[in-house]
Chain A
Amino acid sequence: MIPVNVIFLYSLIIFCIGLWGALSRRNVFIVLMGIELMLNAVNIAFVGFASSLGNIAGQIIPIFVITVAAGEAAVGLAIVVAIFRNRLSINIDSFNILKW
Protein backbone atom coordinates (compact mmCIF):
# COMPACT_ATOMS: atom_id res chain seq x y z
CA MET A 1 0.00 0.00 0.00
CA ILE A 2 1.45 3.33 -1.06
CA PRO A 3 1.12 6.03 1.64
CA VAL A 4 -1.29 8.80 0.67
CA ASN A 5 1.27 11.43 1.68
CA VAL A 6 3.66 10.18 -0.98
CA ILE A 7 0.95 10.26 -3.65
CA PHE A 8 -0.02 13.77 -2.62
CA LEU A 9 3.62 14.91 -2.71
CA TYR A 10 4.00 13.34 -6.17
CA SER A 11 0.88 15.16 -7.37
CA LEU A 12 2.19 18.42 -5.88
CA ILE A 13 5.55 18.06 -7.67
CA ILE A 14 3.83 17.46 -11.04
CA PHE A 15 1.52 20.42 -10.38
CA CYS A 16 4.42 22.73 -9.58
CA ILE A 17 6.32 21.63 -12.69
CA GLY A 18 3.22 22.38 -14.77
CA LEU A 19 2.79 25.75 -13.06
CA TRP A 20 6.42 26.59 -13.74
CA GLY A 21 6.01 25.68 -17.41
CA ALA A 22 2.76 27.63 -17.76
CA LEU A 23 4.17 30.76 -16.12
CA SER A 24 7.75 30.89 -17.37
CA ARG A 25 7.76 29.74 -21.00
CA ARG A 26 7.23 31.99 -24.00
CA ASN A 27 6.19 29.24 -26.45
CA VAL A 28 2.41 29.09 -26.29
CA PHE A 29 2.33 25.32 -26.88
CA ILE A 30 4.49 24.67 -23.83
CA VAL A 31 2.20 26.94 -21.80
CA LEU A 32 -0.73 24.72 -22.86
CA MET A 33 1.29 21.60 -21.99
CA GLY A 34 1.94 23.05 -18.53
CA ILE A 35 -1.81 23.49 -18.02
CA GLU A 36 -2.35 19.85 -19.07
CA LEU A 37 0.30 18.76 -16.55
CA MET A 38 -1.47 20.69 -13.77
CA LEU A 39 -4.81 19.01 -14.61
CA ASN A 40 -3.06 15.62 -14.54
CA ALA A 41 -1.60 16.38 -11.11
CA VAL A 42 -5.13 16.98 -9.80
CA ASN A 43 -6.19 13.63 -11.27
CA ILE A 44 -3.30 11.87 -9.50
CA ALA A 45 -4.40 13.35 -6.18
CA PHE A 46 -8.01 12.23 -6.78
CA VAL A 47 -6.96 8.68 -7.70
CA GLY A 48 -4.60 8.51 -4.73
CA PHE A 49 -7.34 9.48 -2.30
CA ALA A 50 -9.77 7.08 -4.02
CA SER A 51 -7.25 4.29 -3.50
CA SER A 52 -6.46 5.10 0.11
CA LEU A 53 -10.00 5.90 1.24
CA GLY A 54 -11.60 3.11 -0.80
CA ASN A 55 -14.15 5.44 -2.41
CA ILE A 56 -14.89 4.96 -6.12
CA ALA A 57 -16.11 8.58 -6.48
CA GLY A 58 -12.46 9.65 -6.54
CA GLN A 59 -12.13 7.84 -9.86
CA ILE A 60 -15.23 9.49 -11.35
CA ILE A 61 -14.09 13.12 -10.97
CA PRO A 62 -10.89 12.53 -13.05
CA ILE A 63 -13.12 11.39 -15.94
CA PHE A 64 -14.81 14.82 -15.89
CA VAL A 65 -11.43 16.53 -15.51
CA ILE A 66 -10.09 14.61 -18.53
CA THR A 67 -13.17 15.65 -20.55
CA VAL A 68 -12.74 19.31 -19.62
CA ALA A 69 -9.00 19.08 -20.40
CA ALA A 70 -9.70 17.63 -23.84
CA GLY A 71 -12.17 20.43 -24.59
CA GLU A 72 -9.73 23.00 -23.23
CA ALA A 73 -6.93 21.65 -25.45
CA ALA A 74 -9.14 21.72 -28.54
CA VAL A 75 -10.41 25.27 -27.96
CA GLY A 76 -6.99 26.51 -26.81
CA LEU A 77 -5.25 25.17 -29.91
CA ALA A 78 -7.98 26.63 -32.13
CA ILE A 79 -7.38 30.03 -30.48
CA VAL A 80 -3.62 29.60 -31.09
CA VAL A 81 -4.27 28.86 -34.78
CA ALA A 82 -6.57 31.91 -35.05
CA ILE A 83 -4.02 34.21 -33.36
CA PHE A 84 -1.17 32.79 -35.46
CA ARG A 85 -3.11 33.73 -38.60
CA ASN A 86 -3.25 37.35 -37.46
CA ARG A 87 0.12 37.84 -35.72
CA LEU A 88 2.30 35.18 -37.48
CA SER A 89 3.93 34.29 -34.15
CA ILE A 90 3.59 31.74 -31.33
CA ASN A 91 5.59 33.84 -28.87
CA ILE A 92 3.27 34.67 -25.98
CA ASP A 93 4.80 38.16 -25.65
CA SER A 94 3.25 39.12 -28.98
CA PHE A 95 -0.28 38.20 -27.79
CA ASN A 96 -0.71 41.60 -26.11
CA ILE A 97 -3.52 43.12 -28.13
CA LEU A 98 -5.95 42.98 -25.17
CA LYS A 99 -3.44 44.59 -22.80
CA TRP A 100 -4.13 48.20 -21.86
Chain B
Amino acid sequence: MSYTEIFFYIFAVLSILFALLTVTRRNAVHAAICLLLTFFFIACNYVLLEAEFLAAVQVLVYAGGVVGLMLYVIMLVRKDEADEVRQSLGQRVIAVFIAILFVLEIAFISLLAYYGNYSGFLSSKMAQIGGNTESIGAVLYTYFLLPFEVVSVLLLAALVGAVVLAKNRIER
Protein backbone atom coordinates (compact mmCIF):
# COMPACT_ATOMS: atom_id res chain seq x y z
CA MET B 1 0.00 0.00 0.00
CA SER B 2 1.50 3.31 -1.06
CA TYR B 3 1.70 6.51 0.98
CA THR B 4 -1.07 8.06 -1.15
CA GLU B 5 -3.48 5.28 -0.28
CA ILE B 6 -2.63 5.32 3.44
CA PHE B 7 -3.16 9.08 3.66
CA PHE B 8 -6.35 8.85 1.57
CA TYR B 9 -7.85 6.38 4.03
CA ILE B 10 -6.72 8.47 7.03
CA PHE B 11 -8.28 11.65 5.61
CA ALA B 12 -11.42 9.77 4.52
CA VAL B 13 -11.96 8.36 8.02
CA LEU B 14 -11.30 11.79 9.58
CA SER B 15 -13.71 13.57 7.25
CA ILE B 16 -16.43 10.97 7.84
CA LEU B 17 -15.88 11.32 11.60
CA PHE B 18 -16.19 15.11 11.49
CA ALA B 19 -19.21 14.89 9.16
CA LEU B 20 -20.87 12.67 11.76
CA LEU B 21 -19.97 15.18 14.47
CA THR B 22 -21.42 17.99 12.29
CA VAL B 23 -24.88 16.44 12.12
CA THR B 24 -24.96 15.30 15.76
CA ARG B 25 -23.78 18.41 17.66
CA ARG B 26 -26.42 20.26 19.69
CA ASN B 27 -24.64 23.63 19.46
CA ALA B 28 -24.69 25.05 15.92
CA VAL B 29 -21.31 26.80 16.39
CA HIS B 30 -19.63 23.49 17.22
CA ALA B 31 -21.32 21.92 14.20
CA ALA B 32 -19.96 24.72 11.96
CA ILE B 33 -16.41 24.16 13.26
CA CYS B 34 -16.75 20.41 12.59
CA LEU B 35 -18.04 21.22 9.09
CA LEU B 36 -14.94 23.37 8.53
CA LEU B 37 -12.70 20.43 9.45
CA THR B 38 -14.72 18.09 7.20
CA PHE B 39 -14.21 20.45 4.24
CA PHE B 40 -10.51 20.70 5.05
CA PHE B 41 -10.00 16.92 5.06
CA ILE B 42 -12.02 16.61 1.83
CA ALA B 43 -9.62 19.20 0.33
CA CYS B 44 -6.71 17.01 1.47
CA ASN B 45 -8.28 14.10 -0.42
CA TYR B 46 -8.65 16.30 -3.52
CA VAL B 47 -4.88 16.84 -3.43
CA LEU B 48 -4.32 13.10 -3.21
CA LEU B 49 -6.70 12.59 -6.18
CA GLU B 50 -4.58 15.01 -8.26
CA ALA B 51 -7.08 17.88 -8.19
CA GLU B 52 -4.86 20.56 -6.63
CA PHE B 53 -6.76 23.56 -8.03
CA LEU B 54 -10.04 22.18 -6.72
CA ALA B 55 -8.48 21.65 -3.29
CA ALA B 56 -7.49 25.33 -3.19
CA VAL B 57 -10.99 26.38 -4.31
CA GLN B 58 -12.52 24.09 -1.68
CA VAL B 59 -10.50 25.68 1.12
CA LEU B 60 -11.10 29.24 -0.15
CA VAL B 61 -14.82 29.04 -0.96
CA TYR B 62 -16.13 26.45 1.51
CA ALA B 63 -13.82 26.77 4.50
CA GLY B 64 -13.29 30.51 4.07
CA GLY B 65 -16.59 31.69 2.62
CA VAL B 66 -19.51 29.38 3.37
CA VAL B 67 -18.56 28.36 6.92
CA GLY B 68 -17.57 31.95 7.75
CA LEU B 69 -20.96 33.17 6.51
CA MET B 70 -22.72 30.46 8.52
CA LEU B 71 -20.84 31.41 11.69
CA TYR B 72 -21.77 35.08 11.16
CA VAL B 73 -25.47 34.25 10.81
CA ILE B 74 -25.43 31.82 13.76
CA MET B 75 -23.93 34.52 15.97
CA LEU B 76 -26.45 37.03 14.54
CA VAL B 77 -29.66 35.15 15.25
CA ARG B 78 -28.89 33.25 18.45
CA LYS B 79 -27.26 35.33 21.14
CA ASP B 80 -27.59 32.63 23.82
CA GLU B 81 -25.90 29.99 21.65
CA ALA B 82 -22.99 32.31 20.92
CA ASP B 83 -22.41 32.54 24.67
CA GLU B 84 -22.14 28.77 24.92
CA VAL B 85 -18.92 28.60 22.92
CA ARG B 86 -16.80 30.00 25.73
CA GLN B 87 -13.94 27.52 26.13
CA SER B 88 -12.52 26.11 29.33
CA LEU B 89 -8.82 26.11 30.21
CA GLY B 90 -8.47 22.35 29.73
CA GLN B 91 -9.34 22.65 26.05
CA ARG B 92 -6.69 25.30 25.53
CA VAL B 93 -3.90 22.83 26.49
CA ILE B 94 -5.28 20.23 24.08
CA ALA B 95 -5.58 22.87 21.36
CA VAL B 96 -1.95 23.93 21.74
CA PHE B 97 -0.89 20.26 21.70
CA ILE B 98 -2.81 19.58 18.49
CA ALA B 99 -1.45 22.76 16.87
CA ILE B 100 2.15 21.71 17.67
CA LEU B 101 1.38 18.24 16.30
CA PHE B 102 0.16 19.76 13.02
CA VAL B 103 3.27 21.97 12.75
CA LEU B 104 5.50 18.91 13.28
CA GLU B 105 3.55 16.92 10.71
CA ILE B 106 3.82 19.65 8.07
CA ALA B 107 7.53 20.15 8.86
CA PHE B 108 8.11 16.39 8.54
CA ILE B 109 6.36 16.23 5.19
CA SER B 110 8.19 19.24 3.80
CA LEU B 111 11.55 17.87 4.98
CA LEU B 112 10.67 14.55 3.40
CA ALA B 113 9.85 16.32 0.15
CA TYR B 114 13.07 18.35 0.33
CA TYR B 115 15.56 15.59 1.10
CA GLY B 116 13.87 12.42 -0.10
CA ASN B 117 12.72 11.19 -3.44
CA TYR B 118 9.22 12.46 -2.85
CA SER B 119 9.56 15.98 -4.24
CA GLY B 120 6.68 16.70 -6.56
CA PHE B 121 5.41 13.14 -6.37
CA LEU B 122 1.81 14.37 -6.36
CA SER B 123 1.70 16.11 -9.70
CA SER B 124 4.84 15.24 -11.61
CA LYS B 125 2.77 13.78 -14.43
CA MET B 126 0.50 16.83 -14.53
CA ALA B 127 3.44 19.25 -14.47
CA GLN B 128 4.76 17.81 -17.71
CA ILE B 129 1.56 18.78 -19.53
CA GLY B 130 1.29 22.24 -18.00
CA GLY B 131 -0.08 21.63 -14.52
CA ASN B 132 -3.52 21.09 -13.09
CA THR B 133 -4.63 24.75 -13.05
CA GLU B 134 -3.61 25.36 -16.63
CA SER B 135 -5.40 22.28 -17.96
CA ILE B 136 -8.53 23.16 -15.97
CA GLY B 137 -8.43 26.71 -17.35
CA ALA B 138 -7.97 25.45 -20.91
CA VAL B 139 -11.03 23.20 -20.67
CA LEU B 140 -13.14 25.65 -18.63
CA TYR B 141 -12.80 28.53 -21.06
CA THR B 142 -13.35 26.46 -24.21
CA TYR B 143 -15.78 23.57 -23.77
CA PHE B 144 -17.50 24.93 -20.66
CA LEU B 145 -17.70 28.60 -21.62
CA LEU B 146 -21.51 28.80 -21.71
CA PRO B 147 -22.02 27.13 -18.26
CA PHE B 148 -19.30 29.45 -16.92
CA GLU B 149 -21.20 32.53 -18.09
CA VAL B 150 -24.52 31.14 -16.83
CA VAL B 151 -22.97 30.50 -13.43
CA SER B 152 -21.71 34.10 -13.25
CA VAL B 153 -25.29 35.33 -13.86
CA LEU B 154 -26.50 32.90 -11.19
CA LEU B 155 -23.99 34.31 -8.70
CA LEU B 156 -25.20 37.84 -9.46
CA ALA B 157 -28.82 36.74 -8.91
CA ALA B 158 -27.86 35.04 -5.63
CA LEU B 159 -26.03 38.20 -4.49
CA VAL B 160 -29.02 40.45 -5.22
CA GLY B 161 -31.44 37.93 -3.74
CA ALA B 162 -29.47 37.58 -0.51
CA VAL B 163 -29.26 41.36 -0.08
CA VAL B 164 -32.99 41.84 -0.76
CA LEU B 165 -34.04 38.99 1.56
CA ALA B 166 -31.82 39.96 4.47
CA LYS B 167 -32.53 43.71 4.26
CA ASN B 168 -34.13 45.21 7.33
CA ARG B 169 -37.74 46.00 6.38
CA ILE B 170 -38.37 48.24 9.41
CA GLU B 171 -36.17 51.02 8.06
CA ARG B 172 -38.48 51.69 5.11
Interfacial residues, chain A to chain B (CB-CB below 8 A): 1-2, 7, 10, 13-14, 17-18, 20-21, 24-25, 27, 29-30, 32-34, 36-37, 40, 43-44, 47-48, 50-51, 56-57, 59-60, 62-64, 66-75, 77-82, 84-85, 90
Contacts and interface: CB of A to CB of B under 8 A. Distances in A.
Contacts, number: 165
A55 B4 CA distance: 20
A56 B135 contact: yes
12 contacts: A17-B19, A18-B23, A29-B70, A36-B62, A37-B19, A37-B38, A47-B51, A47-B54, A59-B136, A67-B151, A68-B151, A73-B69
B165 A75 contact: yes
Contacts of B8: 2
A74 B69 contact: yes
A66 B19 contact: no
Interface stretch (B91-99, B103-111, B113-121, B152-160): B152-160
Interface string B148-172: 0001001101110111111011000
A17 B18 CA distance: 10
B82 interface: no
Given A10-B12, A37-B23, 7 more contacts: A29-B31, A36-B62, A37-B35, A50-B51, A59-B136, A66-B61, A80-B77
A47 B31 contact: no
Contacts of A30: 22-23, 25, 28, 31
A50 B4 CA distance: 17
B5 A2 contact: yes
Contacts of A79: 165
Nearest to B35: A33
B76 interface: yes
Interface residues of B, number: 61
B49 interface: yes
Nearest to B152: A67
B32 A33 contact: yes
B77 A84 contact: yes
Nearest to B170: A85
B66 A70 contact: yes
A78 B166 contact: yes
A14 to B, nearest CB: 6
Nearest to B60: A66
B85 interface: no
